[in-house]
Structure 1
Amino acid sequence: MGIEHQTVFGLPPVEFVHLAADLGCRYIAAVLSGNPVNPHGYPPFSLRDDAALRRRTIAAMREREVSISLGEGFVVRPGSDMRGYAADLDVMAELGVAMVNTVTMDPDLDRSHDEFGTLAEMASERGMQTTVEFAPSLTIKDLDLALAAVRHVARPDFRLLIDTMHLARSGHTPADLAAVDPALIAYAQLSDNTLQQRGTVYREDSINRMVPGEGELPLRDILAVLPPDIVIGLEVPMLSAAQAGEPTEERARRCVQAARDLLTAEALRPPGTLRPLGAPSTAHPSTIER
């Protein structure tokens, strides 16, 4: 289990490492600079420019046995060139990042596919894999388009990232996910929400999600069909709770415990039983650590 950077709204990296370890998580997902949405007023940081901060972060990860499972921030935009991310990839490799994630906001799908291939090759040269994420607000809007991108790039180290909110909001069911070759799924991001968009724009819901198990997404059925050997990162930004004063540690603790409850409930469920799709997830008391 990991904690994604959006969940902690710009918490500096050394403190982020300690928070994850304190909550029993082995992984964090990272960006190289602070989150622009910063309700707690955390000081700005730049892993890109601050070598001393990188050294402190690496030391903290070694001390607490936490690693960076996913590096974010690699976006295809109209007219951009993924080769411009070479220095950022060098920093990610220095930090021991296992995978980097990409999305596209370029409406040109063919060009986006080519840029994905360039990024995947550059990441591979530095010992990292690459994932592609889809969301209704992006050019790669759904699972089918993401699979087409994977087929185009045609590399074993370029695979899918499944975000539970984006999966459901793009109209897909757990059965759709079950039909995908598990070898093509490299990473998952877990959160909950309503099935229908609440905000006037998609971004409003993306930064104001729900604790896993408290919304309408069929999380247990999604977890049941995900590969068992991937990192599950908790991407649960809850802007309203943060603005109301709930500390980052308390929000993260609630999400970690809820995710463990869901995973335990899934492990205890008799094989072949499914909840009706769209019914709220129900969690059972956690009896194991993941």
Structure 2
Amino acid sequence: MEMQFSLAHLTALELSPPELTYVAAKAGYDFVSIRPIYMGLPGEPNYALAENKEMMQQTKRALNETGIKLLDIELARIYEGLDPKIYLPAFEVAAELGARHVLSSIWTDDRSSYIEKFDELCELAEPYGLSVELEFVPIASVTNLKGVVDVLETVKRENTGIMIDAHHFHRSGDKPEDLDQIPREWFNYFHLCDAPSHIPSNIEEMKRILREERLYVGEGGINVAEIVNHLPQIPYSIELPNIHRARKLGYEEFVKQCLQTAKEYFSRNARVTLEK
């Protein structure tokens, strides 16, 4: 099966969803992954398409004109006090644009609360044909593979999955062979990037790297090929924010280089199927 690539929005967050789609198509991506859920972070653009009908129509037009597909939407965070129903407008947007998945992560330490809210999130997403992909994040509350497996085994929903991010996986201390114990159907796509092998002990430095200074695949210290070899063949969503490079090269050239370097890396590190 030929490798497929998506352009994750965080790689070029200054581009609106329609702009991202056109740039991704020109660079040769198969999918885009957009952020129509506004999180209100400092300096983050608001791409809440449910509230911006003009941008919604522009995004739909861009997808239709380019033939690019929408892989997933972000980010349905689970946090203290959340009413998961606030994500329903974004689910409607996702379904209308043909998305397959919703990315989620957990930002509260209250296990009983986040289990309940994640279960409700999956229930709300199901009528829209969406699976909810739970990602562990080193600066969040669920920070490793074991924590995500605990959630999925507890909620026992069919429309759930685990989304592995190369950066986060390396920082978690999990081992690639740990992935062999996970049901294959839980893997639907993978966040592709690289980063320095040294793991920062300072959370602010960790945050800075993951949001602003990830590296081209093969440029850092993560053995991406080894991780991928323990996963089924799934789309690779390139989430590779590097603000300095993007502004120096321009986003069109930067996202092109993100894809080109990934393809070159995999041409040098051919996939080995380890599944039985």
Equivalent positions of 1:114-125 (< 5 A) are 114-125=116-127
Are residues 1:257 and 2:260 paired?
Answer: yes
Aligned partners of 1:117 and 1:153 also within 8 Å: yes
Deviations 1:104-147 (A, max 9, x none): 11110121111111111111111111100001211111001111
The TM-score with structure 1 as length reference comes to: 0.85
Are residues 1:69 and 2:71 paired?
Answer: yes
1:238 aligned residue (242, 247, 251): 242
Which one has a larger percent helix, Structure 1 or Structure 2? 2
Shift of 1:52: 2.3
Moved more, 84-93 or 183-192: 84-93
For residue 182 of structure 2, what is the aligned residue in structure 1? 180
Structure-2 change in CA distance of 1:112 and 1:87 (3 Å): same
1:248 aligned residue (244, 248, 251): 251
Shift of 1:179: 3.1
Aligned partners of 2:37 and 2:90 also within 8 Å: no
C-alpha distance in structure 1 between counterparts of 2:97 and 2:157, whole Å: 24
C-alpha distance in structure 1 between counterparts of 2:153 and 2:71, whole Å: 23
Paired residue type of 1:266: N
2:216 aligned residue (203, 211, 231): 211
C-alpha distance in structure 2 between counterparts of 1:211 and 1:147, whole Å: 29
1:110 aligned residue (99, 109, 112): 112
C-alpha distance in structure 2 between counterparts of 1:130 and 1:224, whole Å: 23
C-alpha distance in structure 2 between counterparts of 1:114 and 1:185, whole Å: 22
For residue 29 of structure 2, what is the aligned residue in structure 1? 25
Shift of 1:92: 1.9
Paired residue type of 2:66: R
For residue 134 of structure 2, what is the aligned residue in structure 1? 132
C-alpha distance in structure 2 between counterparts of 1:129 and 1:34, whole Å: 20
Structure-2 change in CA distance of 1:110 and 1:268 (3 Å): closer
C-alpha distance in structure 2 between counterparts of 1:47 and 1:29, whole Å: 14
Partner SS for 1:216: coil
Deviations 1:19-58 (A, max 9, x none): 111111111111116795769xxx8654121212212211
Higher relative contact order (CA 8 A, sep 6+): 2
Aligned partners of 1:7 and 1:234 also within 8 Å: yes
Structure-2 change in CA distance of 1:33 and 1:124 (3 Å): closer
Paired residue type of 2:220: G
Structure-2 change in CA distance of 1:113 and 1:210 (3 Å): same
C-alpha distance in structure 2 between counterparts of 1:88 and 1:258, whole Å: 32
Gaps of 5+ in 1: 273-290
Aligned partners of 1:93 and 1:127 also within 8 Å: yes
Deviations 1:68-89 (A, max 9, x none): 1011021111111112222221
Q: Give the share of equivalent positions with the same residue, in percent.
A: 24
Structure-2 change in CA distance of 1:262 and 1:182 (3 Å): farther
The TM-score with structure 2 as length reference comes to: 0.89
- Taking only aligned residues, the RMSD between alpha carbons, in angstroms, comes to 2.1
Count of aligned positions: 266
Shift of 1:188: 0.5
Partner SS for 1:267: coil
Are residues 1:10 and 2:14 paired?
Answer: yes
Paired residue type of 1:232: Y
C-alpha distance in structure 2 between counterparts of 1:51 and 1:29, whole Å: 19
Structure-2 change in CA distance of 1:8 and 1:34 (3 Å): farther
Structure-2 change in CA distance of 1:132 and 1:26 (3 Å): same
Partner SS for 1:188: strand
Shift of 1:199: 7.8
C-alpha distance in structure 2 between counterparts of 1:151 and 1:45, whole Å: 33
Partner SS for 1:236: coil
Gaps of 5+ in 2: none
